[in-house]
Amino acid sequence: MKIVMLGAPGAGKGTQAKMIAAAYEIPHISTGDIFRANIKNGTELGKKAKTYMDQGLLVPDELTLALIMDRFTEPDCEKGYVLDGFPRTIAQAEALTEALRETGDSLDCAIDVEVPDEDIVSRMSGRRACLACGGTYHIVFNPTKKEGICDACGGALSIRPDDMPETVQKRLQVYHEQTQPLIDYYKREGILKSVDGTQEVGKVFASIQAILA
């Protein structure tokens, strides 16, 4: 079961990816985790990635793909995997398809977690974080007992720069320009499945399970 997750930032695809991984006993693979693991272990690919990251540059597509394909060879990927955060562009998707084809492999399913932009802005701009202990809350879905104060440590809550409405709008604009075309790409490949991401988390997961059954 080889799955790639699609969806705008804040759509909840990361949460669903983790739930799929746990339920089907396959690894949840994100590019960030792969970069960190390779850098920590001092691999050749990790050293190359670090030279870009230390300069604040994006790791080139070819290197990212090489790291991902290397990750697929590990024993825990024998039954499949959930790929989260890659590909982000058509070029990356085509390169992944070709790299898998060369190993006699292919993706089984691309799952798009659909959430309207206005819902995402509402979700993300309502997030609050505790600077002291790192606790996270939401003014609607997971409010604190006392407004603006962390339940766990009593620290002050703040809105992260990434969650500011104007920042969210910019991130959504980038998503629509670069990443949304992937939906059409995987539709043409015949493996796209969509779920309504506005539902409660458990219901979204139930929809995904029905697709994977």
Residues with a known catalytic role: 13, 88, 127, 160, 171
- Token pair in block for residue 3: 């799955």
- Give, for 120, the enclosing helix (H) or strand (E): helix 117-125
- First vs last C-alpha separation in the chain: 11
